[in-house]
Amino acid sequence: MNIDFVPTAQPVSRLIEEFHKLPGIGPKTAQRLTYFLIRMPQEEARALAEAILAVKDKIILCSICQNITDSDPCIICCGEGRDRTKICVVEEPLDILPLERTREYKGLYHVLHGVISPMDGIGPDDLKIKELLSRLQGGEVEEVILATNPNLEGEATAMYLQRLITPLGIKMTRLARGLPFGADLEYADEVTLIRALQGRQEV
């Protein structure tokens, strides 16, 4: 990836290019972040680097819900107060955070790690769907809450899951339309999410 920067020291230009690879980081922001790090005290810069390495070295997927964790099973799957009759299906690990902040939902989760998107070459086999279906075999789960994002890919994924799970006789619900079409769970406010959870509809 070549970016037209003012000639500068090689370590600086390299860091700018690495920042520019991150989602939502343009050339100007990449430059600002780089020069901020240059002015940062050595100890703080080292702590940041160690935190990044720790994420890559220590983070794994929970063998049950597929959420990111540093212990297996994750803290949610191990939680004694969780309602194990409910599983809320989300697209990404980030989607769990806003739902947990509402304190409205006490069940378990399952992370798909994406959505069905033929345009991007992502099919059902690329998602953690088999792992979800295996969790539904024991008879303990009574309700699956589909919390995929309300956009075309999220809706298509929800419909696909509905076709697979309905024959199992498990109740299926969808978050209520308090979430506007095209919006992501990650950016929804807590009040909207609470209403969506409370008003979820059977599918």
User: In order along the chain (203 residues), what is the average pLDDT of each group of 10 residues?
Assistant: 59 93 94 95 96 93 96 94 96 95 94 95 96 94 93 92 95 76 68 71 68
pLDDT at 9: 82
pLDDT at 195: 65
Tell me the CATH number at 29. Answer: 1.10.8.420
Residue 2 counted as domain residue: no
Q: Do 36 and 109 sit in the same domain of this protein?
A: no
Q: Do 107 and 148 sit in the same domain of this protein?
A: yes
Domain, as residue range, for 48? 10-58
pLDDT at 14: 93
Split into its structural domains, the chain has a count of 2
Q: Do 100 and 156 sit in the same domain of this protein?
A: yes
pLDDT at 178: 58
pLDDT at 150: 80
Q: Do 124 and 138 sit in the same domain of this protein?
A: yes
Q: Do 53 and 153 sit in the same domain of this protein?
A: no
Q: Do 50 and 70 sit in the same domain of this protein?
A: no
pLDDT at 113: 97
Tell me the CATH number at 198. Answer: 3.40.1360.10
Tell me which DSSP letter residue 90 carries: E
Q: Do 98 and 148 sit in the same domain of this protein?
A: yes
* CA proximity to 174, closest of 154, 194, 141, 145: 145
Q: Do 91 and 39 sit in the same domain of this protein?
A: no
Q: Do 53 and 130 sit in the same domain of this protein?
A: no
167-181 burial by CB neighbour count: b if 16+ within 10 A, else e? eeeeebbbbeebbee
